[in-house]
Chain A
Amino acid sequence: MIGQGRLAAWGIGLAALVALPFVYRDPYHLHILVLILIWSFAYTSWSMMGRFGLVSLGHGGFMGIGAYVTALLWNHLGLSPWIGIPISMVAAGALALIVGYPCFRFRITGHYFVLVTLALSGIVLQVITATRDYTGGSLGYTPNRTSGNKLLALQFDDKTIWYLIALGVWLFGIVVWHWVDRSMARYALEAISEDEDAAAAAGVDVTAEKLKITLLSALMTALAGAIYCQYQMFITPDTVSGIAVSLQMVFAAIVGGLFVSLGPTVGAIITILLAESLRIGFGTKAVGWDNLVYGVLLVLFIIFLPKGILGSLLDRLKPQRKVPRAHEQEAVQIARPGT
C-alpha cells in the first residue's frame, strides 16, 4: 500500500524528528513535543477501536491502570517499571476482556456500549480515589526518585532521552495502526460496524474480532498511561483516568480525523498547542478557557466536519481517490441507528 514516494517521505520525516533534539534543545519546547507524542499515542490507541464504531469512554480507566499500577509496583514492591509496565498492561488487558467479552457476546452496542464503558472509567476513578491510603487519592501520586540505576528505574532527567522514547512509542502506535489497517481484521471489523448480522452470516466471528481490537487498544492505552507517569513523575486520578480523560481522547481523535493514521496525532498537536498557548497567553486567568474552546470545537466538528481536519484535508487534496468506503460517505457512520 505504501508507495515508494510515501515511504521516502516517511523516512525523511522520521530522520528529521530523530535529529531534532540534537539540533534544537529548548527544554520547554521539547517538553511540549514529548507530551504531544505521548498523548498522540494514547489517542491513536483509542482510534484503533473508535474507527470501527466501538466508541469507548472506558479508556480513561485503562490509562489510569497503566499509570497507577506501574507507579504502585515501583513504590511499594520496588519492582522496576520494565516489569511493572507489562504487568500494568496485562491488568488493563484483563479488565478489557472481562468487560468486553460479555459486552460483545450479548451484543451491547451503540449507546449502551458507550455507557457501560463510561461506568468502567467511573469505577477506576473511584477505586483510585477510594484507596487513598495507597494511591494518595485525588491529591495525586509520585513515583519515588531512584538513587540507583536510572535506566532500571526508567527515570531520566534529560528531556532528549524522553523525546526519543516518546517518539519510539508513538511510531510503534502508528505502525500498529497500519498493521491493523492492512490486516484482514480491518475488513472484518468494518463489516461488523456496518451490520453485525450480515458480518456474522458471512463467517466473521464478531465477538472474537471485537475482543482482539479492544484488547490491543486497551494494552496500548495502558502503555501510554505508564509512559506518561514515568515522564511526568506525578499523576492524579483526574489527569490519567476518569470520564474527562476519556472524552478528551474522543475529542482529539475526532478533531484530527478518525480514519487516517495521523489523525489522532494532528488532534493531539491541535489540542495541546491550544491549551498551552491559552495558558501562556492568559496565565491563571485561562483556567477553563481551553476546555471551553475544546467543547465548542467538538460540537462544531461533529456538526460540520465529522471526518476531522486531516481526514477532510486529505479528501480535499485527492478528490478522485478510490470510492469512499460506505461508512465514510456521509457523516461518520460510527454506529448504526436502531442498534
Chain B
Amino acid sequence: MQAFLEVFDIYLLEAVINGILLGGVLALLALGLNLIFGVIDVTWICYAELVMIGMYGMYFMVQYYGVSYFVAAPLTILLVAVLGAALHYLVIAPLLTAPPINQLLATGGVLFVLQSFATVAFGIDFRNLGIRLPVLAFGDMNFSYARLLSFAAALVGMVAVYLFMTRTFTGTAIRAISQDRQIMALMGVDTRRIYLITSALGGALAGLAACLLVLQYDVHPFVGLSFGPITFLICVLGGLGNFIGGFIAAFVFAEIISLGGLFSDLEWGYVLAFAFFIVMMFIRPAGLLARRR
C-alpha cells in the first residue's frame, strides 16, 4: 500500500509539472489572441490554424530544405507574422465596423480556408520533424527536453512582448488604443498602422508557438482543432483582453487537462476542462480576475 502511494505521488508530481510546462505554451497562445482582442476587438477563431501553417513551415524548412532548426524558427515567425498582417488587411479591415459576430464568423471562414488549404497542399498525413530530443530523468520522473525548451522559450517570448509593450513608443500606443480607440486617433496615432502591427505581432506569437509545438506534436491539417478551442476558452476564462488573467487561466487549464489525463483518458481531461469553463462562465462571466459589479 505504501509503495503504491509513493508511485502514485511521483506520477502526480510529474503530471503537475508537465501541466505547468504545457501551460507555458498555452499562455503564449493566449497572449497572442488576447493582444488581438484587446487592441482590435476581434476574436480570431482561426488563430490555431495560423499555428498549424507555422508548423508546416517549420516541417518543410527543416525536413525538405535541410535548414537548421534555429534558422528556420525566425523565418517561420516572420512567415506567420506576415500571414497575420495579411489576415487583418484582407478580412478584418473591411469588417471593422461590422457587428462583432460577423467578424468572428469571417475568421471562422478563414479557419476552413487554412485547414483545407493545408489538406490540399500537404495531404492529411501526420508529419513530424524527426528531431528526437532526449528525455530528462529527474528522480523517478521523466520530462522531455522538448517541453522544457518550449516552456523556457514561451516565457522568453512573453517577457519580450512585455518589454515591447512597455518600453517602446509603438507598444505604448498599442496599450493606449486598447484603452480608448477613438481618442488615440485624435492624438495623432495612425490606428490602421497600429492594428496592422498588432496583427503581425499576434501572428509572430503564433509563429513562435508553432516552432515550439512542432517539437512535441506531429503536424497535420487538423492539428489546430486540438488546441484551438482550449486557447479561446483560456482567453475567455481570463477575461478577453486581460493579459494577466489569460496567463493564469492558461496554467489552470493546463493543470486540469494534465491531471484529468492522469486519472483517466486524455479526452476526459478535456471534458473536465470544458465543463470547468462553462461553470466558471456562470460564476465569473467577465473572467477570473474581473471585479464583481
Binding site for B on A (CB under 8 A): 53, 55, 99, 102-103, 106-108, 110-112, 114-116, 118-120, 122-123, 126-127, 129-130, 243-244, 247, 250-251, 254, 287-292, 294-299, 302-303, 306, 331-337
Contacts and interface: CB of A to CB of B under 8 A. Distances in A.
A292 to B, nearest CB: 4
Interface string B273-286: 01101100110010
Given A115-B232, A337-B100, A288 B95 contact: no
B101 interface: yes
B108 A250 contact: yes
A298 B277 contact: no
A119 B253 CA distance: 13
16 contacts: A99-B278, A110-B101, A111-B101, A112-B236, A116-B277, A116-B278, A123-B274, A126-B270, A127-B271, A243-B225, A250-B105, A295-B110, A302-B106, A303-B106, A332-B99, A337-B99
B101 A112 contact: no
B124 A287 contact: yes
Interface in B222-248: 225, 229, 232-233, 236, 240
Interface stretch (B114-122, B128-136, B154-162): B114-122
B102 A306 contact: yes
Contact of B112 (A111, A130, A294, A333): A294
B66 interface: no
Contacts of A335: 99-101
A122 B274 contact: yes
Given A116-B277, A303-B95, 20 more contacts: A55-B101, A102-B281, A106-B281, A110-B101, A112-B240, A112-B285, A118-B233, A123-B271, A126-B267, A250-B105, A251-B105, A251-B109, A287-B120, A292-B116, A297-B109, A298-B106, A298-B108, A306-B98, A336-B99, A337-B100
Interface residues of B, number: 46
For the complex of A and B, 7 pairs with smallest distance between CB atoms = A295-B112, A288-B119, A298-B109, A130-B267, A295-B113, A291-B116, A292-B116
Nearest to B107: A299
Interface string B199-230: 00000000000000000000001000100010
B102 A102 contact: no
Contacts of A336: 99
Q: Which DSSP category, helix, strand, loop or mixed, fits chain A's interface?
A: helix
A290 B116 CA distance: 8
B119 A287 contact: yes
A247 B106 CA distance: 11
A247 B110 CA distance: 11
B18 interface: no
A114 B236 CA distance: 11
A130 B267 CA distance: 5
B94 interface: yes
Contacts of B102: 302, 306, 331-332, 334
Contacts of B112: 247, 251, 291-292, 294-295, 298
Given A55-B101, A130-B267, A112 B109 contact: no
B99 A302 contact: no
Nearest to B230: A122
Contact of B221 (A114, A118, A288): A288
Nearest to A334: B101
A9 to B, nearest CB: 32
A256 to B, nearest CB: 14
Nearest to B229: A122
Nearest to B37: A111
A247 B117 contact: no
Nearest to B91: A299
A301 to B, nearest CB: 8
Given A292-B112, A337-B100, A119 B267 contact: no
A254 B99 CA distance: 14
A291 B274 CA distance: 27
Interface in B164-202: none
A254 B285 CA distance: 28
A119 B270 CA distance: 10
B15 to A, nearest CB: 18
B268 A102 contact: no
A251 B124 CA distance: 23
Given A247-B108, A295-B112, A303-B95, A123 B275 contact: yes
A261 B268 CA distance: 40
Nearest to A53: B101
Contacts of A130: 264-265, 267-268, 271
Contacts of A337: 99-100
B104 interface: yes
Nearest to B281: A116
Given A292-B113, A299-B106, A108 B94 contact: no
A112 B102 CA distance: 14
Contacts of B113: 291-292, 295-296, 299
B58 interface: no
A296 B232 contact: no
Contact of B43 (A111, A243, A244, A291): A111
A336 B98 CA distance: 9
Contact of B233 (A119, A287, A302, A334): A119
